[in-house]
């Protein structure tokens, strides 16, 4: 899905539980809050459930909403190109490092938290101190997907990938295109001790025949076709493919990196659009909005770890306690994204 789409009221039913604000209450709050002029809310997003969420939000609130759906890398490039003349009101993608960088550029509204749901301790862990962006769920970056009919013993650490056993057998996304993949790269660099140590690792990996593709789907298709034996992708994409192709399995080397889905509100658009963006975040945190997140992309982005109390994860998602996860500082790694991606393109993709 790409381009700008005006969302009309859909037939998606709003579901709710006994926790938080119902869809009807959210709609009432929206109408009561705003005698302000209604303007179109422009949502830039790279989530598999974003169309379903935008449709449900417009139906519940009556706020005209336009969705621009692209890859994370494309959206971030678009936002930087727009500069002081932004065309977006709200950004919703995976990976908080980019939002920390946007915050440091004073591009995000600070100090807002949705009031329609309560964060779990896991959710609180990924909220920035200045509340400049809003986490909505959690996946992990850098799971290894493998074909169990070909590979019986997947690697348990990243450094094992540079061994002769895996020569020409590993594939991953390009972090300059697939935003979540930057968290894979940053997480490995963090674990190895810094950027220079990480660069040395990825040079070794490239020398060992690393294949670089564009997105999760392309990388996983290469795995299915036997072009590679190991695919490094976001775990939700891997779990989704495992559901469709039972021979595929998901392994978690020590360590995989946290990858929250995140909403940011544009600090440079009108106050009216900012207010609508806040209502969108409130809707996402409500039981109705959480249900859409869980159902809108059942074999993809809906396979996340919930961070709102009262929301239960999909049965296909493993317990987070079984996964060796690390949390990296987005304010350390966010500002490095551009230079790290440029280095990766020059030395790994084109090296």
Considering the domain architecture, whether residues 85 and 227 belong to the same structural domain is answered as: no
Considering the domain architecture, whether residues 98 and 182 belong to the same structural domain is answered as: no
Considering the domain architecture, whether residues 119 and 167 belong to the same structural domain is answered as: no
Average pLDDT over residues 144-168: 97
Considering the domain architecture, whether residues 129 and 268 belong to the same structural domain is answered as: yes
305 burial class (0-12, 13-18, 19+ CB within 10 angstroms)?
buried
pLDDT at 5 over 80: no
The number of distinct structural domains making up the chain is: 2
The CATH number for 243's domain is 3.40.190.10
Considering the domain architecture, whether residues 219 and 84 belong to the same structural domain is answered as: no
pLDDT tens digits, one per residue of 259-315: 999 999 999 999 999 999 999 999 999 999 999 999 999 999 999 999 999 999 999
pLDDT of residue 24: 53
User: Domain span at residue 342?
Assistant: 141-257+321-349
Structural contact between residues 100 and 335, judged by C-beta atoms closer than 8 angstroms: yes
Q: CA 323, CA 3: separation in Å to the nearest integer?
A: 36
pLDDT of residue 22: 52
Q: CA 10, CA 65: separation in Å to the nearest integer?
A: 12
The closest alpha carbon to 330, from 1, 97, 12, belongs to 97
pLDDT at 255 over 90: yes
Give 260-303 as a DSSP string: EEEEEEBTTS-HHHHHHHHHHHHHHHSHHHHHHHHHSSTTTTT-
């Amino acid at each position: 899905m790409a381009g700008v789409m005006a969302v009309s009221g859909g037939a998606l039913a709003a579901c709710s539980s006994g926790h938080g604000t119902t869809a009807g209450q959210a709609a009432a709050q929206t109408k009561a809050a705003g005698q302000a002029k209604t303007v179109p809310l422009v949502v830039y997003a790279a989530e598999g459930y974003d169309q379903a969420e935008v449709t449900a939000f417009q139906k519940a609130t009556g706020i005209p909403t336009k969705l621009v759906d692209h890859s994370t890398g494309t959206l971030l490039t678009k936002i930087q190109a727009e500069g002081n003349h932004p065309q977006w009101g709200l950004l919703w993608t995976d990976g908080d490092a980019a939002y920390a960088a946007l915050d440091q550029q004073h591009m995000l509204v600070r100090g807002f938290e949705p009031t329609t749901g309560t964060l779990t301790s896991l959710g609180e862990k990924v909220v920035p101190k200045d509340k400049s962006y809003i986490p909505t769920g959690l996946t992990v970056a850098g799971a290894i997907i493998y074909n169990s009919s070909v590979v019986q013993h997947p690697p348990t650490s990243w450094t094992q990938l540079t061994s002769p056993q895996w020569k020409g057998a590993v594939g991953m996304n390009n972090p300059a295109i697939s935003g979540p993949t930057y968290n894979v790269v940053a997480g490995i660099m963090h674990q190895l001790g810094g950027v220079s140590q990480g660069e040395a690792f990825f040079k070794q990996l490239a020398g060992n025949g690393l294949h670089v593709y564009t997105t999760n789907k392309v990388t996983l298709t290469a795995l299915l076709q036997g072009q590679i034996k190991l695919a490094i992708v976001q775990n939700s994409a891997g779990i989704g493919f495992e559901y469709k192709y039972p021979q595929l399995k998901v392994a978690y080397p020590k360590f995989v990196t946290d990858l929250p889905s995140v909403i940011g509100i544009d600090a440079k658009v009108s106050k009216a659009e900012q207010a609508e963006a806040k209502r969108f975040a409130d809707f996402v945190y409500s039981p109705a909005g959480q249900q859409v997140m869980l159902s809108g992309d059942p074999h993809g982005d809906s396979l996340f770890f919930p961070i709102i109390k009262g929301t239960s994860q999909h049965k296909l998602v493993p317990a987070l306690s079984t996964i060796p996860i690390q949390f990296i500082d987005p304010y350390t790694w966010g500002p490095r994204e551009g230079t790290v991606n440029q280095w990766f393109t020059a030395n790994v993709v084109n090296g």
